[in-house]
Amino acid sequence: MDTRPASCRFRLQYEGKPYPRSSCTACGKTVMTGLGNHCTATTDTKVYSSHLTPALRWRWVDKPDGESIKRVRVLEQAWQGSNGRVDWVEVPEAE
């Protein structure tokens, strides 16, 4: 679920709808006031940014398995936080 406001230019762009090129009506920022690449009007700290290429990676991690440690591969997805930093978050396994 996208937590950005419906009027957010980045949400509109991500959804393929017409969007203002130089401002965001949700947060009020313009190109001159530091529009950046994400909206500050969201309440979620992990917002998928339309400017971040969707990325997945496999990584080996050591997980406890009873009394031993098991080496397993986990799938991670790139997320861009509201501070602009890219973090990798483990994708939960489907049940």
> Which sequence spans correspond to the domains of the chain?
9-90
pLDDT band at 25 (very low <50, low <70, confident <90, very high): confident
- Per-residue pLDDT for 55 more than 80? no
- Per-residue pLDDT for 95 more than 70? no
Average pLDDT, the chain: 77
Nearest-angstrom CA–CA distance, 38 and 27? 10
Per-position b or e across 15-28, b if 16+ CB within 10 A of its CB: eeeebeeebbbbbe
- pTM of the predicted protein model: 0.43
